[in-house]
Amino acid sequence: MTAFLQYLGQSTRISFTKLGRASYFLLQILAGVLSLLARPRLLLKQLYSVGVLSFLIITISGLFVGMVLSLQGYYTLSDFGAEETLGVMVAASLVRELGPVVSGLLFAGRAGSALTAEIGLMKATEQLSGMEMMAVDPIKRIVTPRFVAGLISMPLLAALFSAVGIIGGQMIGCGLLGVDDGAFWSQMQAGIDFRDDILNGVIKSLVFGFVSSWIALFEGYDAIPTSEGVSRATTRTVVNSAFSILGLDFILTALMFGEH
């Protein structure tokens, strides 16, 4: 019993210490944002590797998710003779939930894990230490550009995911299942609200981008500088990002759509 309590206390203490380190790390990242403005090239390079390189996986996943949504939605809606509303159903699911959440999870898996491994290996091969000895702050030079790139990329990727998903849904719904094209689009136009649906979706994806970039960069920076340490850190990035995204999604949904 004592051993269990001791273990519980110790692991709580370790978690809180880590949370403290992560918060301090975040402050250091944010302190570097202003000086990043003076060097847009650093940001552009990261936007490419964090954002542009995630394009393909986001587009393909979005397309398939949209197509499946349309299929499943059609079978349920047609029972009630409401297949005309397929457009609004597909669009609302994507813009409100699936767009931000699934692209957030994919982002954590594709870009987040790469960020952790990159930073962790830079630490293991003394590149970060070397930079410090060259009087270059590795957080400003390496971490902040990646963080800002993640923050900018995530809403754009989520928007891309939703847009491609809607096209996929339309292809299946109208092309294959015979839903009227005009009804599909006009129901969607009438049913989707800019502030309630689209803006809330964008806010969600910004939050997910913030959290998963923070987790990925911190895990890399805090990794034990060995191959095993980096591998564990990469796993933690994906697992912790997924939990955070799903948990935050529930909280955000409750706050945003709770009163309806």
Least separation in angstroms between CB 9 and another protein: 20
Largest CA distance in the chain: 70
180 sits near another protein (criterion: CB under 8 A): no
28 sits near another protein (criterion: CB under 8 A): no
The interface with another protein within residues 89-108 (CB under 8 A) comprises none
How far is Cα 113 from Cα 100, in angstroms, rounded to an integer?
18
- Residues 6 or more apart from 108 whose CB is under 8 A from it? 212, 215, 216, 237, 238, 241, 242, 245
The interface with another protein within residues 118-147 (CB under 8 A) comprises 122, 125-127, 129-137, 141
Least separation in angstroms between CB 111 and another protein: 16
How far is Cα 250 from Cα 204, in angstroms, rounded to an integer?
10
The answer to whether 216 and 113 are in contact (CB under 8 A) is yes
196 sits near another protein (criterion: CB under 8 A): no
13 sits near another protein (criterion: CB under 8 A): no
Least separation in angstroms between CB 118 and another protein: 9
Q: Which sign, positive or negative, has the C-alpha torsion 151, 155, 160, 161?
A: positive
The dihedral region occupied by 193, where left means phi > 0, alpha psi between -120 and 50, and beta the remainder, is beta
Least separation in angstroms between CB 127 and another protein: 5
- Shorter beta-carbon distance to another protein: residue 141 or 232: 141
- Shorter beta-carbon distance to another protein: residue 41 or 195: 41
- Shorter beta-carbon distance to another protein: residue 84 or 137: 137
Q: What does each C-alpha distance from 138 to 21, 50, 131, 196, 237 come to in angstroms? A: 16, 18, 6, 40, 20
Least separation in angstroms between CB 237 and another protein: 20
Number of residues engaging another protein in binding (CB under 8 A): 14
Least separation in angstroms between CB 32 and another protein: 13
1 sits near another protein (criterion: CB under 8 A): no
38 sits near another protein (criterion: CB under 8 A): no
- Residues 6 or more apart from 245 whose CB is under 8 A from it? 101, 104, 105, 108, 208, 211, 212
CB atoms within 10 A of CB 98: 22
- Shorter beta-carbon distance to another protein: residue 76 or 125: 125
Residues that bind another protein (CB under 8 A): 122, 125-127, 129-137, 141
